Each structure stands twice: as C-alpha cells, then as structure tokens.
A and B are shown apart, each in its own frame.
Chain A
Amino acid sequence: MSEIVPLHLARPGDLLTQLHVGPVTRLDLALFYGASADHNPVHVDIDYARARGRPDVIAHGMLSAAYLGRMLHRLAPPGSIQKFSTRFLAVTDIGDELLCSAVLMQTEAGAGLAELALAVHKRSGVQTCSGRAVIRLPQI
C-alpha cells in the first residue's frame, strides 16, 4: 500500500488520502434512499431486484460518489472544491468493502489549484468508480 503524502508536499502520482467504507449494508442503502431522494427500488426492494434478474439489491452509484465526496472533504472544505466528477464502472453489492482514494495528478501553483484522480475499489480489486476533482490549494 502506498504511503499518504500531505497535499502541500505531494508530487504527481502521490497518494493524498484514502477512505475505507463498509461492508455496505441494507441499512446504508435504506438511509441513502431516503436522504438522497434517489428512489430506484432496485436499491431497497429485493423482490423488485429479483424480478429483474438480480440476486439482490445493489448500492446506488451516487452512494459511492458521496463516499468520494466525503473523502474529498478531508482535503478541501466546502467552497474549495471547483469540480468533482465520477464515472460508474461496476455495481456495488451488499457486503462489499470499498476503498476510496485520491492521487495527485498535477498542481497549478499559479492558479492555486490541484487536480486529483479519484477511484473506488472493492476489496476484490474490482474498480467501481473513477473520478476527477479540482480543488483549491490551501494557503499555507
């Protein structure tokens, strides 16, 4: 596992932070279903999921995006994130343990910005999300 390097010392390719989440539970999906207004029954209704050929309910893509946002919050408080994007690559199942990570891509010292590559991986190694963020560098 790579070592975490503080943002102000980091060079391109360095790991800035990680966030472990899970195992993802049905309760997590029920709480997010209510709180996020993302009302697709495939996230909470096993009968609905089975009728569509799935063995079980699956996690919201946006729950993983929210975990990436939680991780970003550690590097950049609200107001200092300029851009944040997530692509959904694979389904997250009940019981999955997720590892979110942020790697420095480049800094634009003049503009005071850093561009980060984001990812979510399952413990099995399968990548479920990729992403990008642009954050303002803290004034030190």
Chain B
Amino acid sequence: MIDRRFLGWEVPPHIVEVERQMVRNYAHAIGESDPLYFDEQVARRAGYRDLPLPPSFPFTLYLMDGKPSFWRVEQMGAVIGTGYHGEVEFHYHAVICAGDRIECRTRVSDISDRKNGQLTLITESTRFVNQHGQHVADMRNVFVVVNTPSP
C-alpha cells in the first residue's frame, strides 16, 4: 500500500547539465532524423541557442537524478513490476537547449485510489528551471500502482 504521508513530499531537487550528445542519442533512439536535433549549426540557423530538446525529453530530465528510475515510488511503498505508467503531461514555457543547466524540482501532488482501492494513482508535479532562474517547463506524471490483481 502507498503511504499517504508522502502526499506533498518535496523530493530533493537535482540539476541536469543538458549535453548535445544526450539530445542526439535521444533523437536517434526515437527515430527522429531532423538535423535540428543533431547539428548545432542547423539549430542556430533556425534561431535556437543550441540543439533543442524533443518534446518528451523533460521526462528524462526528471529521471536523471543518478538514482534508480523508480526510487521515489518505491520509497512510497510501490513494488515495481506491479505498477505502470498512467499519464504524462508537459507544459512548455521556454525552449530548453543543449548547454542549459536545468533544476528539476518534484513534489508528490496527489495520491488517490481508483476502482475501490484496486489501484492507487501517484501524481508527481515537476518544475523545471534553467540556469538563469527562468521557469521553462512543468510536468505532471501519473504512476499507477496495482494493489490487487485484476479479476
């Protein structure tokens, strides 16, 4: 069971230094071929400071804290392998590029049951701030914990 005392938990923030090769590797892994994500000259000509991040990349920034990917939900009582990713939502306020230093600040914003307690939904809200103190993005992420086997 998920310990309700984690509602409102402010996870210690971490900082990710976004490197060009991280952007290229991610773009390659998702089959993206636009040179905008590979060649900084192309990115600069298109008006970006450096290689921009693909839209789903902030989830990776959130994970890059040097710890096992699911330590947060495990700490709350979830058993990995009995849960799944439910939902993710991004709000973008400014472009994040390679060379940026992004602080990721995550808070457990909701813990609620579904289906008469068979499922527990853990919602985390992450705020991303760059090296200039600019609030560049927000993410809401829902992890679903299965408490009892489904019939």
Residue of B60, B84, B87, B89 touching A36 (CB-CB under 8 A) = B60
CA distance A28 to B31 in the complex (A): 9
Docked-complex contact B81 and A36, CB < 8 angstroms: no
A79 surroundings in chain B (CB, below 8 A): 48, 52, 92, 94-95
With a 10 A CB-CB cut-off, give which of B25, B56, B90, B92 has the most chain A CB atoms. Answer: B56
How many A-B pairs have beta carbons closer than 8 Å: the answer is: 112
Chain A residues in 8 Å Cβ range of B26:
35-36, 66
Q: How far is A72 from B32 in the complex, measured between Cα atoms in Å? A: 12
Q: Tell me, in angstroms, the Cα distance from A79 to B32 when the chains sit together.
A: 17
* Chain B residues engaging chain A, CB cutoff 8 angstroms: 22, 25-26, 28-32, 34, 36, 46, 48, 52-56, 59-60, 63-64, 68-70, 80-81, 84-92, 94-95
Q: How far is the CB of B19 from chain A (nearest CB, A)?
A: 12
Chain A's nearest CB lies how many Å from the CB of B85? Answer: 4
B48: A residues at CB distance < 8 A:
78-79
Give, as a whole number of angstroms, the nearest-CB distance from B147 to chain A: 16
Measured CB to CB, the residues of A under 8 A from B are: 21, 28, 31-32, 34-40, 42, 48, 52, 60-63, 65-70, 72-73, 77-79, 81-88
Chain A residues with Cβ below 8 Å from B70 are 40
Q: Which of B25, B30, B46, B91 contacts A70 (CB 8 A)?
A: B30
Contacts of A31 in B (CB 8 A): 25, 28-29
> Are the CB atoms of B28 and A85 closer together than 8 Å?
no
Query: Could you tell me if B89 and A88 are in contact, using CB atoms closer than 8 angstroms?
Result: no
- The answer to whether residues A62 and B56 also contact, given A40-B80, A87-B86 and a CB cut-off of 8 A, is yes
Closest residue of chain A to B149 (Cβ to Cβ) is A53
- CB of A112 to closest CB in B, whole Å: 15
